[in-house]
Structure 1
Amino acid sequence: MESSFSYKQTVPSEWVDYNGHMNDAEYNRAFSLATDAFIDHIGLDAKGREQYQYTIFTLETHTCYLKEMHEGKEFEVVARVFDYDAKRIHLFLTMYNADGEVVSTLEEMLMGMDQDEGRPAPFPDLVAEKVEAEYKVNAGEDTPKQVGRTIGIRRK
């Protein structure tokens, strides 16, 4: 997956659980930190939020855990704008280990919010342009198999 955005970190000891690998909540913390960094990347860092009186809320997430991560191991999260409209971003994040293997994915729906009105609103123009540019980076690529998954027990 190509991306102009990347978030890198190492698994801290406090993220490791009694099974000896990164706890499920910590995968979500890592994705949340990466999402915050992505939001900064598209122009809604602290300065942008203040300038536009605009922010992003998370509406829904879905995490898939594919491989274990252990203490001290490096990982990278890349983001793909899977879809978007005037005020929403369907974002797909992929976490890779140092060997380039996919270890986890997170699919989420984000909503742009006017802070003065306290309600959804279209992205500021410069942010909208950045979102569109991020979408175009991966437009036309195959859909990752984790996109759009539902939870359920398949019966035969």
Structure 2
Amino acid sequence: MALLITRVAPEWVDYNGHMNDAEYARVFSLSVEALMARIGLDEAGREKERYTLYTLETHLCYRREVHEDQTLEVEVTLLDRDAKRLHVFFEMRDNQGNLLATSEQMLMGMATAADGARPAPFPESVDRAISELPVAPMDAWPELAGRRIGLPPKR
């Protein structure tokens, strides 16, 4: 089941005729918002719980070009978690199921207050909702998860 379904807006297309690299990040940012809504941290949930998520790190991989008005579907898999962090893996696909891009992210749960935000464990209701997310065991992570950036070793 898709976490987010959207279409490539005309203003997202660059001089090469396909979606600009920054717009992939936009779609994954919208996917984080959709994830937040799924786990009870939509606007009302954030106010009620006085809690939100911050993105600590992201690794985006571009797999295929995307064009204007193309349908994009994003799914999420939970790779790991602790009391206040989520390690998630998003996959962006077209409506034929072709992998277009991935985004691996570390998200931090933050308690919000008038004097600022600070890391804090997930509220009980959010924790329960997180437990309902699709999980990939460490020995069965998606092929593109856990990658590091770098040139291949020289021979």
- The two structures have a TM-score, normalised by structure 1, of 0.92
- 1:38-117 residue pairs with structure 2 within 5 A? 38-116=35-113
Q: Deviations over 1:5-49 (max 9, x none)?
A: 520011011000111110110000001001111111100011111
**What residue is the counterpart of 1:131 in the other structure?**
130
SS in 2 for 1:44: coil
- Structure with a larger share of its residues in helix: 1
Amino acid at match of 1:112: G
CA distance in 1, matches of 2:119, 2:135: 26
**What residue is the counterpart of 1:33 in the other structure?**
30
CA distance in 2, matches of 1:115, 1:138: 27
SS in 1 for 2:131: helix
Amino acid at match of 1:131: I
SS in 2 for 1:33: helix
CA distance in 1, matches of 2:104, 2:81: 13
**What residue is the counterpart of 1:145 in the other structure?**
143
Aligned length: 151
What is the percentage of aligned positions where both structures have the same residue?
46
CA distance in 1, matches of 2:98, 2:136: 22
SS in 2 for 1:60: strand
SS in 2 for 1:100: coil
Amino acid at match of 1:126: S
RMSD of aligned residue pairs (Cα, Å)? 1.3
Structure 2: gaps spanning 5 or more residues: none
CA distance in 1, matches of 2:8, 2:117: 36
